[in-house]
Amino acid sequence: MGKCLSVEQLAGRGNNIVCGGTAYGAGKVAANVVITGEPIDLDDGVVAVVNPNLYKPVLSETPHVTAEHSTRPDFISTNDWDGYLSWLIECPDADKEEARFRMWKDVIAKANAHISENMENLKDLTLLLWMTSIASSKYFSDWMHIQDIQIALDKHFASQISAGSSSIVCELNNYGELIQALDTLNRYGNRIGENVSSFAFQMLMSNFGLKSKFVTERFNEKGWNIHG
């Protein structure tokens, strides 16, 4: 029993699960019964809750593929993240992921460009949030180059914040991106330096016209943790 259940791959439990909040994420839950205080927010909805005696996990990091894609090329050794994402986009059953993979291409390309050429001019904190989400995903968890980019961006913003920079921004285009940024901070905030994480939370709350201190106090009253 707990506040919420974050599921990225498979959460297995032979008995029952009770959450005061909800179960959310991109994975599945293997349990006899799942009871939540709020509607289940898994990608596949209630269908993502499966019988632990019937569920046979698929030991794969990539979407289901047909015979012509049955062997994943070795993109890691050549650091071909662009080719890897293109390959994922072409995989069958990847339709709902295609937009995300295309966005990841843009994010990694921008991050690489900043690190290679003009890191000192990087002011958009959302680039770090998106890279943190990518580095934390099952698709890039074993990809050291992607992990190194995320760490480099985190160190850059930690330095900027410590120096009292007033030019840091969070460039969000719509409400959906704001929710996505908050979700990333909630799920993976522990991968970001504490000062950076708190600063990001402050900036995201300002989009709602709220002070982070006020929101933090309300969370504390409820006994909730801000970042997971």
Q: What is the pLDDT of residues 3-34, one digit of tens each?
A: 676 777 776 655 666 665 676 677 777 776 66
Shared domain check, 118 and 201: yes
Average pLDDT score over the chain: 77
Contact 92, 65 (CB under 8 A): yes
pTM of the predicted model over 0.95: no
Contact 189, 197 (CB under 8 A): yes
Shared domain check, 119 and 19: no
Q: Which domain, by its residues, includes 33? A: 5-50
DSSP 8-state assignment for residue 204: H
Across the range 196-210, mean pLDDT stands at: 79
Q: What is the pLDDT of residues 53-100, one digit of tens each?
A: 554 444 344 444 443 444 567 899 899 999 999 998 888 666 668 889
**In the prediction, which pLDDT does 85 show?**
93
Shared domain check, 136 and 37: no
Q: Is residue 217 part of a domain?
A: yes
Report the C-alpha gap between 111 and 148 in whole angstroms: 11
Shared domain check, 128 and 15: no
Contact 101, 88 (CB under 8 A): yes
Instruction: Give 188 or 7, the one with higher predicted confidence.
Output: 188
Report the C-alpha gap between 135 and 144 in whole angstroms: 9
Q: What is the pLDDT of residues 51-66, one digit of tens each?
A: 665 544 443 444 444 4
Q: Is residue 170 part of a domain?
A: yes
Q: Is residue 228 part of a domain?
A: no
Query: What tokens does 136 get?
Result: 């934390």
Q: Work out how many domains the chain is built from and give that number.
A: 2
Shared domain check, 155 and 45: no
